[in-house]
Amino acid sequence: MAGLLRYWRTLKRFWGSALASQMEYQLNLLIEVLAMAGNLAGSLLLLWLIYGRGQQLGGWSLDAALVVLGIYTLLDGVSSTLLRPNLGAIVTQVQQGTLDFVLLKPIDSQFWLSTRTLSPWGLPEIVTGLALAIWAALRAGARPGAATILGGALMLLSSVVILYSLWFVLATTSIWFVKTWNVTEVLRAALSAGRYPISAYPAGLRTLFTVVLPVAFLTTVPAEAILGRASGMWLLLSVAVATASLLFSRWFWRLALRDYTSASS
Amino acid sequence: MRAWRQEDAPRRRRSLGRLVWSLGRQLHHGGRVARALFSSQYALMLEYRAETALWALSGILPFIMLGIWSQLAVPPAGLGPGQGADAGGIGLDQVQLSRYFLCAFVARQFSVAWVVYAFEEDALQGRLSPYLLQPLQPLWRYVAAHLAEQVTRLPFVVLIAAVFFLLQPAALWIPTPGRLVATVLAIWLAFTINFLLQSCIAILCFWSERASALERLLFIPYLFLSGLVAPLEVFPPALRAAAHWTPFPYMVAFPAQLLAGEAVPIAASFAAMVGWISLLLPITLLLWRAGVRRYSAMGA
Which residue of chain B has the CA closest to A29? B213
Residue B8 pLDDT greater than 70, yes or no: no
Mean pLDDT value of segment B75-88: 46
Amino acid at B149: E
Name residues 164-193 of chain A within 8 A of B (Cβ): 177, 179-183, 185-186, 188-190, 192-193
Taking contacts as CB-CB distances below 8 angstroms, the residues of chain B near A80 are: none
ipTM: 0.88
Indicate if the pLDDT at residue B89 is higher than 80.
no
The alpha-carbon gap from A189 to the nearest alpha carbon of chain B, in Å, equals: 6
**Residue A129 CB-density burial (10 A; 0-12 exposed, 13-18 middle, 19+ buried):** buried
Per-residue pLDDT, A243: 96
Highest mean pLDDT among A59-68, B31-40, B198-207: A59-68
Write out pLDDT tens, residues B93-115.
888 899 999 999 999 999 999 88
Beta bridge partners of A57: A60
Strand partners, A60: A57
Residue A157 makes CB contacts below 8 A (sequence gap 6+) with A242
B210 touches chain A (CB under 8 A): yes
- Interface check B283 vs A, CB under 8 A: no
B61 chain-A contacts, CB cut-off 8 A: 189, 192
Q: Cα separation of B221 and B212, whole Å?
A: 16
Chain-chain contact of B58 with A182 (C-beta, under 8 angstroms): yes
Q: How far apart are CA A111 and CA A11, in angstroms?
A: 9
Neighbours of B74 (CB within 10 A): 13
Instruction: Judge whether B205 and B123 are in contact, CB under 8 Å.
Output: yes
Q: 3-state class of A60 per DSSP?
A: strand
Q: Is the minimum CB–CB distance between A33 and chain B shorter than 8 Å?
A: no
Pairwise CB contact (< 8 Å): B216 & A35: yes
pLDDT at residue number B297: 56
User: Phi-psi category of A59—alpha, beta or left, where left has phi over 0 and alpha has psi -120 to 50?
Assistant: left
Query: Which of A42, A53, A186 is nearest residue B220 as measured by Cβ atoms?
Result: A42
Of the candidates A28, A180, A202, the beta carbon closest to that of B67 is on: A202
Chain A residues with CB-CB distance to B64 below 8 A: 190, 192-193, 205
Distance from CA of B36 to the nearest CA of A (A): 25
Helices of type H across A79-182: 84-87, 90-96, 99-104, 109-115, 123-139, 146-172
Least Cα separation, residue A69 to chain B (angstroms):
15
pLDDT at B74: 63
Judge whether residue B1 has pLDDT over 70.
Answer: no
Between A10-19, B262-271, B279-288, the lowest mean confidence (pLDDT) is in A10-19
A38, B67: Cβ pair inside 8 Å?
no
Q: What is the pLDDT of residues A196-250, one digit of tens each?
A: 999 999 999 999 999 888 999 999 999 999 998 888 888 999 999 999 999 999 9
Considering only the beta carbons, identify the residue of A53, A177, A196 that sits closest to B89.
Answer: A53
φ/ψ of B79, rounded to 5, equals: -100, 140
Chain A CB contacts of B88 below 8 Å: 55
Residue B298 pLDDT greater than 80, yes or no:
no
Query: What is the pLDDT confidence band of residue B300, given thresholds at 50, 70 and 90?
Result: very low
Spell out, as residue ranges, where chain A has pLDDT lower than 70. Answer: 1, 263-265
The pLDDT tens digits of the residues spanning B174-196 come to 899 999 999 999 999 999 999 99
Across the interface, do B72 and A50 touch by the CB < 8 Å criterion?
A: yes
Least confident of A165-179, B4-18, B157-171: B4-18
Beta strands in chain B (DSSP E): none
When pLDDT is cut at 50, 70 and 90, the band that residue B14 belongs to is: low
Contact B217 A200 (CB under 8 A): no
- Contact status of B23 with chain A (Cβ, < 8 Å): no
* Percentage of residues of chain B with pLDDT beyond 90: 45
> What is the count of residue pairs from A and B with beta carbons less than 8 Å apart?
84
Is there a contact between A201 and B67 if contact means CB atoms under 8 Å apart? yes
CB contact at 8 A, A180 and A260: no
- Is there a contact between B106 and B259 (Cβ–Cβ < 8 Å)? yes
pLDDT at B123 over 90: no
Nearest-by-CA chain A residue for B59: A189
Dihedral of the CA atoms B98, B104, B106, B112 (nearest 10)? -160
The reported pTM is 0.87
- Is the Cβ pair A55, B72 closer than 8 Å? yes
